[in-house]
Structure 1
Amino acid sequence: MKAMILAAGAGTRLKPLSNRLPKPMLPIIEKPVIEFILELLAKYDVKEIMINVSHLAGVLQNYVRSGYRYGVRVGYSFEGHFEKGQLVPEPVGSAGGLKKIQEESGFFDETFIVLCGDAIVDFDLSKAYEFHRASDSIATIISKKVERDKVPNYGIIVCDSVGRVESFQEKPPVEKAKSNLANTGIYIFEPEVFNYIPKNQFFDIGGDLLPLLVQKKERVFSIDTKIDWYDIGRNADYLEILGMALEGRIKGFKPSGREVTEGLWRGTGSVLEKSMKIITPVYIGAGSIVEKNVKLEGPVMIGANCRIH
């Protein structure tokens, strides 16, 4: 199985954080979001990965590079064009990005998984793949049951008793929701889906491709894998996830540095001056200085080489 990570979004709802970093490079206690995704894929032996990039593409490419340190091979597809010597972003939609890569390289020559680059996820990929194969599905959606009052925040999937998708609802009101099964933005596809994606036009997976597949009576299924799914769509989401990471509520994640007391993490060379007060959880990055009389009330993350006064 191969993989595609969607990383071309501009991150408009995450401004001003996304002014300097693309969404997949936002740090969770100094570990970029995309690193969680690459490690998950490597864990399940998915070694060939394509990443589409656009907004601040060089930042992500310079960090991930070839993928060697994760034990994978990474290639890139830029969504845009050159104008007066400058790279100009030109979004083509999530499905349009897949089509562009396929037309240029034929990369997707076997079953492949698509993941959003702005979410931390952990799920049993082997189980999802086995379900996909057993269902003889052209597309399988990784889904998650959400509380009924949260339904208006998500794209909702409506399935029959065996998980075959019948229809979709985009952020329906609670009283009109036919399901509480949320689309996580993770999909397993067969290469035949490219027969349904037009060339050279904006085309979205969730809004265009999947409804078209269902309309054409293709076999589209959904599986709830009990996924841990932390979507970083807004600044409030990002801050909440940072707090969860500091409090040890993200499975398998531990902040870098040294835990000097319970809930207080310090990077190499960080300095805490006297007469300061800390209410944990707090992370202080390498080389940072917290001056005297400062009060830090967690959850707080301070990056590397900062001075707090």
Structure 2
Amino acid sequence: MKAMILAAGQGKRLRPLTNKIPKPLIEVTDQPIILDVIGRLRDFGIDEILINVSHLGDQIISCVETSGIKNVYFIKEPFPYGTGGALINAFSRLGNDPFILCNADIHTEINFNLLPDVTDAAHIIGVENPSHNISGDFCLSDGIVTLNSVNELTWSGISLIHPQILEPFLSNKIPFDIWNVIFKPNIKKQLLTGSSSNDLWVDIGTPETLRLARKLVKEEN
């Protein structure tokens, strides 16, 4: 199975830190976040990983290549294509089978075994709503993803996606995001499935969440 890691964001909310270092290279443990994510995917049995890069992307490439990790391939974007645009840009390299999609800027212990072996559209993992997203992203009804005015779960950034769900959007103008453009129309058709996790999950998007993640790691040790 393949996986794709989204690593092209500019990390605007973490400036000025991300003016000189891309967000995926920020350290929460004893190594950059992206190496933690790659390690978890490898432990799950993923044998090929695609990573899209843009902002300070050469630093990410150098970090991963220096680590000696094999079968990792990079897709350069001249500017950030967005989470949806990144998948369209990588479409020809994703193959015909479901693949795992994972954000490069999360500190998590979510078990990838929550993902099914197959999907005809997409399966997403949700977590308890964090303070910065109290209205949430979605709810679950018998395993089917639904949308309400107030939602119980926040998308973790971890999903299993079948490439065929991307085909109607191949001609879309880049950039665009996956949630609003690809996921939502399919959620309204009741095509997306989901599961929830109570495992540790922190979105490293702000100085506050970065401090929280580092605090949690320190307490664990």
Report whether the alignment pairs 1:77 with 2:75.
yes
Give the corresponding residue for 1:277.
none
Judging by fraction of residues, say which structure has more helix.
Answer: 2
The answer to which structure, 1 or 2, has the higher relative contact order (CA under 8 A, 6+ apart) is 2
Give the corresponding residue for 2:115.
128
**Alignment partner for residue 158 of structure 2, among 186, 197, 200?**
186
In 1, Cα distance between the equivalents of 2:68 and 2:30?
Answer: 20
- What do you get for the CA RMSD once the two structures are aligned? 2.1
Give the corresponding residue for 1:196.
168
Give the corresponding residue for 2:125.
142
Offset at residue 154 of structure 1 (A): 5.8
In 2, Cα distance between the equivalents of 1:241 and 1:127?
Answer: 22
* Partner SS, residue 115 of structure 2: helix
In 1, Cα distance between the equivalents of 2:51 and 2:24?
Answer: 11
In 2, Cα distance between the equivalents of 1:94 and 1:154?
Answer: 21
- Which of 1 and 2 has greater Rg? 1
* Partner SS, residue 208 of structure 1: helix
Output the TM-score relative to the length of structure 2. Answer: 0.90
Q: CA 1:95/1:56 → structure 2, altered by over 3 Å: closer, same or farther?
A: same
In 1, Cα distance between the equivalents of 2:77 and 2:137?
Answer: 28
| 1:141–1:188 contact (8 Å) kept in structure 2 | yes
Structure 1, 186-195 or 221-230: larger mean CA deviation: 221-230
Offset at residue 241 of structure 1 (A): 1.4
Offset at residue 190 of structure 1 (A): 0.7
Poorly superposed stretches of 4+, deviation over 6 Å: none
Deviation string, structure 1 residues 270-305 (Cα, Å, up to 9, x no partner): xxxxxxxxxxxxxxxxxxxxxxxxxxxxxxxxxxxx
| 1:122–1:228 contact (8 Å) kept in structure 2 | yes
Give the corresponding residue for 1:45.
45
| 1:203–1:209 contact (8 Å) kept in structure 2 | no
Q: CA 1:59/1:206 → structure 2, altered by over 3 Å: closer, same or farther?
A: same
Offset at residue 137 of structure 1 (A): 4.1
Give the corresponding residue for 1:59.
59
How many residue pairs match? The answer is: 220
| Mapping for residues 276-291 of structure 1, pairs under 5 Å | none
Deviation string, structure 1 residues 181-211 (Cα, Å, up to 9, x no partner): 1111211101111223233422211121101
Q: What letter matches 1:165 in structure 2?
A: V
Give the corresponding residue for 2:2.
2
Judging by fraction of residues, say which structure has more strand.
Answer: 1
Give the corresponding residue for 1:22.
22
Q: CA 1:94/1:146 → structure 2, altered by over 3 Å: closer, same or farther?
A: closer
In 2, Cα distance between the equivalents of 1:13 and 1:100?
Answer: 25
Output the TM-score relative to the length of structure 1. Answer: 0.66
In 2, Cα distance between the equivalents of 1:243 and 1:166?
Answer: 34
Report whether the alignment pairs 1:114 with 2:101.
yes
Offset at residue 247 of structure 1 (A): 1.8
| 1:196–1:213 contact (8 Å) kept in structure 2 | no
Percent of pairs with identical residues:
27
* Partner SS, residue 142 of structure 1: strand
Give the corresponding residue for 2:145.
165
Offset at residue 79 of structure 1 (A): 1.1
Deviation string, structure 1 residues 94-150 (Cα, Å, up to 9, x no partner): 111111111xx43332110111111112222123224xx3xx541111111347xx4
Report whether the alignment pairs 1:210 with 2:183.
yes
In 2, Cα distance between the equivalents of 1:239 and 1:213?
Answer: 36
